[in-house]
Structure 1
Amino acid sequence: MSHLVEDAPARRRFEILVDDALAGFTAYRQQSPDVLVFTHTEVDPTFQGKGVGGALMRGTLDEIRRRGSRVVPQCPFMAAFIDKHPEYADLVAS
């Protein structure tokens, strides 16, 4: 199972594709040029329990880090992921 996480700015969300099928997304709004507020994450039921949500979070947060941006994790899924993976805690905007 191959997956790809990519930003879809026209839809204001990061999407994860699994074998070219949309498996989930995490929606955001731009708070400032370098801060994204993540409001909602959804994984298609077909892909739940297969690590897709975690892969989506890792791919999204790695891209945020690469850009030098920060996040406001209003989405409970993202907030819980960051709590469990403190290596991403530095990306949370204060």
Structure 2
Amino acid sequence: MEDHIHIDRQDTESGGRYVANVSNHEAEMSYSRASPRLIIIDHTSVPDALRGQGVGQALALHAVEDARAGGWKIIPLCPFMRAQSLRHEEWADVVQQR
């Protein structure tokens, strides 16, 4: 399912969020911008109806790909993003562990 999830990025001055709408349910991963080259992912929310379908994983991967393309780093403050980043050593180029 992960390959068919469309994700939008909504930016604000201080941060933003990644949003996936799947089967009339919204999942999101929010972040704040610590500096032009650093974001802090602080929250991931996936409704129960979407759990186990790879939606959270797709949000995390989208954030990593955006960081690579945009030249910034990610601090995974959110427990979900932190767990994902520890499972994916290949994200170490953009994910900053504390």
> Which category describes the TM-score, using the shorter chain as reference length?
0.7 to 0.9
Runs (4+) of structure 1 moved beyond 4 Å?
none
From 3, 10, 17, give the equivalent of 1:13: 17
Q: CA deviation digits over 1:26-51, x for unaligned, max 9?
A: 11111001110111101011101111
Using the size of structure 2 for normalisation, the TM-score is 0.83
Structure 1: give runs of 5+ residues left out of the alignment.
Answer: none
The equivalent of 1:63 in structure 2 is: 66
Verify: 1:4 aligned to 2:43, yes or no.
Answer: no
> % of aligned pairs identical?
30
Q: Is the 8 A contact 1:70 1:92 kept in 2?
A: yes
Give the corresponding residue for 1:85. Answer: 88
How many Å separate the matches in 2 of 1:30 and 1:67? 13
Aligned to 1:37: 40
Name the amino acid aligned to 2:40.
V
Aligned partner of residue 33 in structure 2, secondary structure? strand
Q: Which has the higher helix share?
A: 1
Moved more, 30-39 or 2-11: 2-11
Check the 8 A contact 1:15/1:22 in 2, yes or no: no
Shift of residue 16 of structure 1? 1.6
Contact 1:82 1:88 in 2 (8 A): yes
Supply the distance in 1 between the matched residues of 2:8 and 2:94 (Cα, whole angstroms): 18
Over the aligned positions, Cα root-mean-square deviation in angstroms equals: 1.8
Q: Which deviates more, 33-42 or 21-30?
A: 21-30
Change (3 A) 1:16 1:83: same
